[in-house]
Amino acid sequence: MKILKKYILKEVFVMFLFSLIIFTFVLVTGNLVKLADLVINKGVDISQVGKLFLFLIPFLLSYTIPMSTLSATLLVFGRLSSDNEITALRANGVSLSRLTYPLIIAGVMLSLFSVILNDRILPESHFASRKIVKNIGVKNPTAYLESGTFIKSFKDYILFIHEIDKQKLNKIRIYQLQEGSPARTIIAKNGEFISLESQNAIKLKLTDGTSDEPNPRNPLQFYKLNFKTYYLTLHLDETLSSNKYIDKKPKEMNFQEIKDEIKKLGTHHIDAPALISEFHRKISISFSSLVFIIMGISLGIFSRRGEKTIQFAIALGVIVLYYLLMAAGMAISLKGVQPIELWMYIPNIVLAIIGIILFRNMVES
């Protein structure tokens, strides 16, 4: 029995590492394209992008660790079942419950590690990466802005830029919002951003365009003014300014910070379903590894198929179901439907019950 336990633990561990590398690589590749664009097309310092990449890893691991545990157990027990090794073990009086007991212990340990990851490491990395992004927005505004969209990051101004190439801008339309008056419009063929960090502002150099200028006799009316060069100072909105204090979002808080914030809001009789939901979401998703091990063992034996593609497809289906239930639970809890805490544990409860029922049926059959 001891040899069998070690054998299964080794097989699951090897497959876990393999799955972890594959899933993490796939998710990293998707994000590397965006990070590379910051360096190549938008001129962001590679050291800043490197930090963003490092802070991205804990976020990816919070998803790939549970996914890998599910895939590993499914693949191993699916192969054992398809090769009739499970049948042979049961015929020789080997208890499946005792055989899988070490894996359950491993799932508990992995879940406890995930608690630390989601409580300490992930919130800090989230917050640090957001500060870097805001700092990039001040030092290099074109890295923060997107072409082809209405940009509302500047106080009293809305920008629409057709093309952004590093610091160079093409086909610019600017709307200056004015209280009680029509928006003033500035159109330019080309432009260039000049950062003014110490002033929390950006100077915009425009060339070859027209601007609406108020009629001195009637400020509500404008006349067109052609210009070769036009300078405009845009003050950064609070969402872009990195020199101001940055409030933490719920996902950037650890357990104690969330508790303190809930308590503080409670003194003002303010409900905080978002904070309560986030607190219990962190715990719930941390223990998804344990739930996925239970599901992986049960589905691997139940499916009796050894093909890796089929096992991966089953794993993907379970993962999609889990996160759909999590999204539904989050939506319900954010509406303040009581008990808020319960909704965040629904995915774990549902999948654990399904896994335990399947396992018991196989043990008793």
Is residue 254 one of the residues assigned to a domain? yes
Residues 261 and 117 both lie in one domain: yes
Same domain, 131 and 202: no
Q: How confident is the model at residue 290 (pLDDT cuts 50, 70, 90)?
A: very high
Largest CA distance in the chain: 101
Domain termination residue (choose one: 208, 235, 262): 235
| Residue 150 domain flag | no
- Please tell me the number of Cα atoms within 13 Å of 141 on its side-chain side: 27
- Which of 178, 203, 235 terminates a domain? The answer is 235
Same domain, 28 and 114: yes
Same domain for 253 and 342, yes or no, is yes
What pLDDT is attached to residue 297?
A: 85
Highest mean pLDDT among 54-68, 183-197, 252-266: 54-68
pLDDT score, position 42: 58
Domain boundaries, position 33: 2-138+248-364
Residue 109 pLDDT level (bands cut at 50, 70, 90)? very high
Report the distance separating Cα 331 and Cα 326, nearest Å: 9
Find the angle CA(32)-CA(15)-CA(327) to the nearest 5 degrees: 60
Query: What pLDDT, in 10s, does the model give residues 131-145?
Result: 777 666 555 555 556
Report the pLDDT value the prediction gives residue 269, as an integer from 0 to 100. Answer: 65
How many structural domains is the chain composed of? 2
Residues 168 and 270 in one domain: no
| End-to-end Cα, the chain, rounded Å | 21
Whether residues 229 and 253 share a domain: the answer is no
pLDDT confidence band for 159 (50 / 70 / 90): confident
The CA–CA distances, whole Å, from 36 to 28, 54, 193, 266, 310 equal 12, 14, 21, 44, 34
126 or 347: which carries more pLDDT confidence? 347
Asked which of 192, 213, 235 is the last residue of a domain, the reply is 235
- Look at residue 349 in the predicted model and tell me its pLDDT: 93
CA distance 329 to 327: 5
280 and 331 share one domain:
yes
Model confidence over 270-283: pLDDT tens digits?
677 888 888 999 99
pLDDT at 23 over 50: yes
**For 52-60, what is the mean pLDDT?**
86
DSSP 146-210: -TTSEEEEETTEEEEEEEEETTEEEEEEEEEEETTEEEEEEEEEEEEEEEEGGGTEEEEEEEEEE
Q: Considering the domain boundaries, does residue 339 fall inside one?
A: yes
Q: What amino acid occupies position 352?
A: A
Q: Do 208 and 280 share a domain, yes or no?
A: no
Q: What is the pLDDT of residue 166?
A: 64
pTM greater than 0.85:
no
What are 318-340's pLDDT values in tens digits?
899 999 999 998 888 887 788 88
User: Is residue 218 one of the residues assigned to a domain?
Assistant: yes
Split at pLDDT 50, 70, 90, the class of 364 is low
How confident is the model over 53-80, as a mean pLDDT?
87
Are 189 and 171 spatial neighbours (Cβ–Cβ below 8 Å)?
yes
Which residue has tokens 């001129």?
43
User: Average pLDDT for residues 201-215, to the nearest whole number?
Assistant: 81
Do residues 43 and 143 lie in contact, with contact meaning Cβ atoms separated by under 8 Å?
yes
Of all residues in the chain, what percent carry a pLDDT higher than 70? 76
CA 104 to chain centre: 28
Q: Clarify whether residues 85 and 160 are in a common domain.
A: no
Whether 124 and 161 map to the same domain: the answer is no
Q: Let me know whether 92 and 176 are in one domain.
A: no
